[in-house]
Structure 1
Amino acid sequence: MPKRSSSRRSAGSRAVRRGLTAGGWVAVGTTALVIGSSLTAYGAYYDIYSNINQETIDTDAWDRPTKVEGALNIMIIGSDVRSGDNAEYGGEIEGERPDSLLIAHISPSYDGATLINLPRDSMVNMPACEASGDKPGMAAHYGMINSAMDQGGVQCQWQVVEQLTGIHIDHFVSVDFTGFKDMVDAVGGVDMCIPAPVDDPKADLTLDAGEQTLNGEQALGYMRSRYGQGDGSDLSRIDRQQDFLAAMLRKVMSGEIMSSPTSIYSFLGSVTDSITVDDELTVDRMTDIAIQMRQVDMGNIQFVTVPNGQAPEDANRVAWTQPDADNLFAAIANDTAIAEEEEEEAPEEEPQEEEEETPPVAPSDVSVEVLNGTDVNGLGSEVGSHLGAQGFVVAGSRNPDGEIPAETTVYYGTGFEGHAKAVAAELESATTAENPLLGGTVQLVIAGEWGGFKGEPTSGGGTDLPVDGKTAEAQESSCG
């Protein structure tokens, strides 16, 4: 039988500022559930399942949101407790504050999944929690969302997430550093595009630019890295980790891994010692979930961070933007496709005559991620380099995950229209559009009609690249 405990084991609790953020932990938890049922056919899953740690959660201790029939919501916790095999990543740290907190929503309505990141730095009004095991509990107060784990364990964190979001949580999965690293190695590494060289001593990470396969140790460093990439914020790191998640899901769901009992066994066997789940997440339940996940269209998986902005009381913390955050939570709680809601709200865009009222923003205050939606190899990296030379803070470049707009567009989160306009002003032809799901980093999505930068000549195809499609810098990093 699985190991049980009344409180979480020591090797599992924090994981975002110094540890893994959304993408890495979701990759561990979600992909394990996706392929779990495959092992039952070979009579091997029960053997692996016995290594998983379990914890009893008393969900009768608080008033719970209504559950939508058929929908599945899993709270995923990233853990960086520095003990046991994890001690090498910065020494032992007291307390249990998850650095990564996420809700994975699997929808029966539109055969899709939505992964919602709740930034660990979120300042929220937390409800009171009862004492649990060796945890003292806590009174209702205003504080960081991840402090609930330290005060009341997983049970308190579960209660806080449910009562803040109104989303019924069905199960939880927690994974630590060692499990993540071993899982990446078990699937033979993960292919990633690194848009620019990375040198981050704090994460023990050095990477060249370009397409490459990250092994477990490199992947762990990439997921932990904050100051060596982008603008150094947790939000830009979340964006990178969501890219990693997408790449990992593609690797795990590939025919080679899914069709091989040995590969599946190796994958799950590598992480079970580092996983903790609730005691209702049984073998049969995991099998049901895996079957449900197989119905999910890989092209219909959305990666979302709760709409947020700088907390008024602390520039190093974030506050959820309302009513956008509550609208997102309501869509998930009611199993409504987020994309459909955005289409309905689109006609209510601000009138054009109000555009000039947006105050100008200096490039140094703008964080921008470049998404290359064209067929020109290296264009994203080239555009990012140009913007960086103009003083913008470039949070990386990659290819878009979803639909590409008809024209080059700079998307911005609520309150960041001026940031988007500052980027658009550099371009020969671009429009701006609000995406309430974005945070403080705007996204420049380059479309097929890319016209280059203002005042600069373009070569064939309307880009600032030489005829062969690459500059010297782009040749160094041929991805994006």
Structure 2
Amino acid sequence: MPRKRSSSHVSKAGAKGKKLSAGAWVAIATTVMVICGSLAAYGVTQDLYGNLNQENIDTDAFGDRPSKVEGALNILIVGSDIRDGENSEYGSEEGERPDTLAIAHVSPDQKSATLVNLPRDSIVQMPECPPTDDRPGQDAHEAMIGEAMNSGGMQCLWKTVEQLTEIHIDHFVKVDFVGFKDMVDAIGGIPVCVPEPIDDPDAGHLKLEAGEQTLDGEEALGYVRSRKGQGDGSDLSRIDRQQEFMGAMLKKVMSSEVLARPTSLYDFLGSVTEHVTTDDELNVDSMADIAIAMREVELNDVNFVTVPNGQHPADPNRITWTEPDATELFNAVAADEGIDGGDDSEGGEDDSDSGGGSSEAPSVEPGEVSVEIINATDIQGLANEVSTGLTSEGFQVLGTGNPEGDVPQQTTVYYGAGNKAHAEAVADVAANATTEEHPALADNVQLVLSNDWNGFGDGGGGGGDAADVDSTSAADAKVECE
């Protein structure tokens, strides 16, 4: 049985008398951002490990925990919004919450790593957490997921994420604003493609021209935290941008420009450790285990996904996780199964007119399909959300609107004569859509969202993949504008 640990004590990591390879440090350092692995030739002395802040977490107090898959690692990644000390220049905010929250899943068997983002605007069922020396604790209730950290610290946040996802969390890594900024500066900035000019006074007065840019630490921090100045201003849009940036950072860290220069590598790793807090079980040996687990993982095997979600019915500014898609994703991570949709299973033949369960790939490309989206639900803004999803899949969205007359009980893609394949292409990316011919339609198809709408990802061409979700890889990060 693991030893019990108090959750209230934070200390500097003590010296273990061992050296950690550069590859192991690169692996754990970029775990803060994503997770990467490479065994390099340079030894990194113990003083870097001694810079780490470490916190005791009493996982025995959680009660029954999810089972652990031997060999696989799940690391809770937290970007802290704490505003004290050096971080006070980024505004005043009482308490501490996760500005970014994700589970990094490292799979030696799959030779891959996946970062599953949990949007901070998610409304979830919170467990009871006892008070600590400096936190009030909380009763079981419904709230935004980040409230757990403010109520009960990392102990409560770890418990909350583990109980919500049923994923066994092995370690946590937390980095603050200054740590992130210093990491970027230590490797000479990160190249990105900025699609549109940015002027966001709420993100450190961030001002950037459109085009290819190399962001320094201060600019990078504003870029990944900005909401109102970019995209649609949502947390989901910000997550997409953060995933893109993480991929670009991984490319830079893994480049010979950084790995082949001991001073750059040492500066980078030093900036990581100085502003990072981990659990006290994340020691030199476990860091080396991460590096070993990641040594065969390439950039295109490091994937980013966001838990399937939709607008919360009671608050358009909040998020609810879409079921059963979210549970299927979590189950796949917990069982160390592939979650990138790579292994398609064969489904039985189905002669019905249903697109959502089709096991055949669509005969037309998404770019050939023009679709209009009609929102027949009571969820405000759902058509725009679905429009964003379909556009990201490559479909041509003509517009959105409200229904006129009767609406179907089931989400339906209507099509005109000769365009059944176009309708099926749309239905195949939805969890539960059917298709139906309608004589009034010509070249375009019409997606009518009914109250049974259950998001994307479950009805794609995979047919039986336990976690058929949209993902991007680190190799796909755009550092140059097309």
TM-score normalised over the length of structure 1: 0.70
Change (3 A) 1:33 1:119: closer
What SS does the corresponding residue of 1:157 show, helix, strand or coil? Answer: helix
| 3-state secondary structure, aligned to 2:129 | coil
Compute the displacement of 1:365 (Å). 3.0
1:80 counterpart letter in structure 2:
D
2:214 maps to 213
Aligned to 1:98: 98
Q: Distance in 2 between matches of 1:296 and 1:141?
A: 40
The one-letter code sitting in structure 2 at the alignment partner of 1:325 is A
Cα distance, 1:123–1:343 mapped onto 2, change above 3 Å: same
CA distance in 2, matches of 1:153, 1:437: 38
Following the alignment from structure 1 to structure 2, what is the Cα–Cα distance between the partners of residues 230 and 350?
Answer: 41
Give the equivalent residue in structure 2 for 1:139: 139
Aligned-pair CA distance for 1:111: 0.2
Residues in 2 aligned to 1:45 and 1:174: alpha-carbon distance in whole angstroms: 22
Q: Read off the aligned partner of 1:262 and give its amino acid letter.
A: T
1:206 deviates by 1.2
| Residue 278 (structure 1) aligns with | 279
AA in 2 matched with 1:138? Q
Distance 1:259 1:354, change over 3 A: closer
Distance 1:122 1:345, change over 3 A: farther
1:161 aligns with 2:169: no
Residue of structure 1 equivalent to 2:294 = 293
Q: Distance in 1 between matches of 2:446 and 2:374?
A: 19
The one of 373, 388, 394 equivalent to 1:368 is 388
**Using the alignment, how far apart are the partners of 2:240 and 2:155 within structure 1?**
28
Q: How big is the shift at 1:134?
A: 2.5
CA gap 1:54/1:363 in 2 versus in 1, 3 angstroms: closer
Q: What is the RMSD computed on CA atoms of the aligned residues?
A: 4.2
Provide the residue aligned with 1:198 in structure 2.
198
1:313 aligned residue: 314
> 1:435: which partner in 2?
457
Whether contact under 8 Å (2:126, 2:145) holds in the other structure is yes
The 5-angstrom pairing of residues 61-460 of structure 1 reads: 61-62=61-62, 63-90=64-91, 92-203=92-203, 204-340=205-341, 343-344=344-345, 359=374, 365=384, 368=388, 434-436=456-458
Is the Cα–Cα contact under 8 Å of residues 74 and 105 in structure 2 kept in the other structure? yes
- Using the alignment, how far apart are the partners of 1:426 and 1:146 within structure 2? 48
Q: Give the SS at the match of 2:388.
A: strand
Counterpart AA for 2:384: D
Gaps of 5+ in 1: 10-25, 374-379, 393-406, 419-424, 446-476
Alpha-carbon distance change, 106 to 29 in structure 1, aligned in 2, over 3 angstroms: closer
Distance 1:348 1:214, change over 3 A: farther
Distance 1:346-1:252 versus aligned 2 partners, 3 A rule: farther
Name 1:473's counterpart in structure 2. none
Structure 1 segments of 4+ aligned residues over 2 angstroms from their partners: 4-9, 26-38, 41-45, 130-137, 339-373, 409-418, 425-431, 433-438
Looking at structure 2, the residues matched to 348 and 286 of structure 1 have their Cα atoms a distance apart, in angstroms, of 48
Q: Which SS does the other structure have where 1:109 is aligned? A: coil
Deviation at 1:34, TM superposition (A): 4.3
Question: What residue number does 2:404 align with?
Answer: none
Q: Matches of 1:415 and 1:372 in 2, distance apart?
A: 14
Amino acid at match of 2:261: S
Unaligned stretches of 5+ residues in structure 2:
1-5, 12-27, 357-370, 402-421, 435-440, 448-454, 461-468, 473-478
Q: Which residue is 2:437 aligned to?
A: none
Distance 1:335 1:435 in 2: 19
Q: 1:52 touches 1:273 (CA, 8 Å); kept in 2?
A: yes
- Aligned-pair CA distance for 1:198: 1.4
* Bigger radius of gyration: 2
Secondary structure (helix, strand or coil) at the match of 2:340 reads helix
Rate the CA distance shift 1:350–1:359 in 2: closer, same or farther, 3 A.
Answer: farther
Q: Give the % identical residues.
A: 53
Quote the Cα distance in structure 2 between the aligned partners of 1:82 and 1:308. Answer: 29
Alpha-carbon separation, structure 1, partners of 2:445 and 2:191: 33
- Assess, with a 3 A threshold, how the Cα gap between structure 1 residues 66 and 184 changes in structure 2: closer, same or farther: same
Q: How far apart are the structure 1 equivalents of 2:335 and 2:226?
A: 35
What is the deviation of 1:30? 4.1
> Which residue pairs with 1:29 in the alignment?
31
Distance 1:195 1:52, change over 3 A: same
Instruction: Tell me how far 1:29 sits from its aligned partner.
Output: 3.4
Question: For residues 148 and 5 of structure 1, do their structure 2 counterparts lie closer, same or farther at Cα, with a shift above 3 Å needed?
Answer: closer
Q: C-alpha separation between the residues in 1 aligned to 2:179 and 2:291?
A: 20
What amino acid does structure 1 have at the position aligned with 2:162?
Answer: E
Q: How does the TM-score come out when normalised to structure 2?
A: 0.70
Q: Is the 8 A contact 1:411 1:435 kept in 2?
A: no
Work out whether residues 311 and 382 of structure 2, in 8 Å CA contact, stay in contact via their aligned partners in 1: no
Q: Distance in 2 between matches of 1:51 and 1:256?
A: 25
How many matched pairs? 391
* In structure 2, C-alpha distance between the alignment counterparts of 1:426 and 1:286, rounded to whole Å: 59
What whole-Å deviation, never above 9, does each CA across 1:297-323 have from its counterpart, x for those lacking one? 221222111111111221111111111
SS in 2 for 1:339: coil
Instruction: Note the C-alpha offset of 1:278.
Output: 0.5
1:50–1:334 Cα change, 3 Å: same
Deviations 1:203-254 (A, max 9, x none): 1111111112111111111111111111111101111111111111111011
Within 2, Cα distance between the matches of 1:426 and 1:283? 64
2:183/2:217 contact within 8 Å kept = yes
Change in Cα spacing, 1:151 to 1:351, as seen in structure 2 (3 Å) is farther
For 2:147, the aligned partner's letter is S
CA distance in structure 2 between the partners assigned to 1:349 and 1:233 by the alignment: 39
Shift of 1:339: 3.0
How many Å separate the matches in 1 of 2:349 and 2:184?
44
Q: Distance in 1 between matches of 2:77 and 2:94?
A: 21
Q: Distance in 2 between matches of 1:307 and 1:416?
A: 14
